Amino acid sequence: MSKHKVRILHNLARSGGTLISKCLGCMPDILLLSEIHPVAAQLFPQANNPLVQAFRWHGIITPEDLGAKDLTFVEAIRLIENKCAGKGKQLLLRDWAYFDFVGFPFIESPSHKLLLAEMLADDFEVVRLALVRHPIDQWLSMIETFPVLKSVPVELYLAGYWEYSQQIQSCGFVRYEDFTRDPVGQMEVICHRFQLEFDRDFMARWQEYDKITGDTDRAISRGAGLNKIVFLPRRPCEDSLLQRFRSNKIYVKALELLGYEDA
């Protein structure tokens, strides 16, 4: 008996996950759940529980379903997917892989495994795709958006970035920078990888899509303030920080693996 299909978009913090999820979520055949992860469901049950999102945002499950206390995480995803199948919707889960590869301040020792995909693999046909961003640009965005992360050593961040970069090789990835330069072309690639119907009209609708987590305040996020998809130059970066990255062998290996230059 064939397994039902679930799609997972892997992404680390500040790598374009919110923007690209809005572009996907506004397509009529897709039902998107945002920043879904078994750890997130426990830590933030009102925001990142898949049942709560499926009920409040999409109305795809009943209040009785929402109140079921004995459902495991996998059983909750199975219930939602069954409801989606009955309405001709394709279920897409935006992962919260930050817990797996950095974790601070929520997890002391991240697993360096894509836990969401591992948990669902036995019960579903899991179709996966990952997002990446240049490690320096991602780091600068992270510490500006979440100042608490300034206490995270760059070396710890790079260790997680490297592990993530290796593990996503099996599913393929899209670079955030490529998407901002050619959103229509890259979205067509993303839909093809996910085996989803591409809807070119997403460009007229993504800004209004609000069934999402992580939609950062415009005063913090440069892209949110623009209300359009454009490539943005790097934030100011101190020479000492640049040298800290460049002297790290993991940084060099990650650039090569993901096709980035030391720019």
Query: Domain residues of the chain, as ranges?
Result: 5-258
Checking if the pLDDT of 220 tops 60, the result is no
Task: Supply 54's token pair.
Answer: 């499926």
120-149 tens-digit pLDDT: 999 999 999 999 999 999 999 999 999 999
Q: What is the C-alpha separation between 14 and 221, in angstroms, rounded?
A: 10
Model pLDDT, residue 219: 46
Model pLDDT, residue 70: 87
Q: Which amino acid is at 127?
A: V
Mean predicted lDDT score pLDDT of the chain: 94
For residue 138, how many other CB atoms are within 10 A of its CB?
A: 19
Task: Supply 133's token pair.
Answer: 């961003």
Report whether the peptide linkage leading into residue 105 is cis, meaning its omega lies within 30 degrees of zero. yes
Nearest Cα neighbor of 31 from 75, 70, 82 is 82
Rounded average pLDDT over 226-251: 93
Rounded to two decimals, the pTM is: 0.95
Cβ distance 187 to 198 under 8 Å?
yes
pLDDT band, residue 2 (cuts 50/70/90): confident
Cβ distance 245 to 135 under 8 Å?
yes
Rg of the chain on CA atoms, in Å: 18
Checking if the pLDDT of 227 tops 90, the result is no
Q: Which residues, including other chains, have CB under 8 Å from residue 183's CB and lie 6 or more apart?
A: 23, 203, 229
Cβ distance 114 to 29 under 8 Å?
no
For residue 125, how many other CB atoms are within 10 A of its CB?
A: 12
Q: Classify 5-258 by CATH class.
A: alpha beta
Q: Give percent above pLDDT 70 in the chain.
A: 95
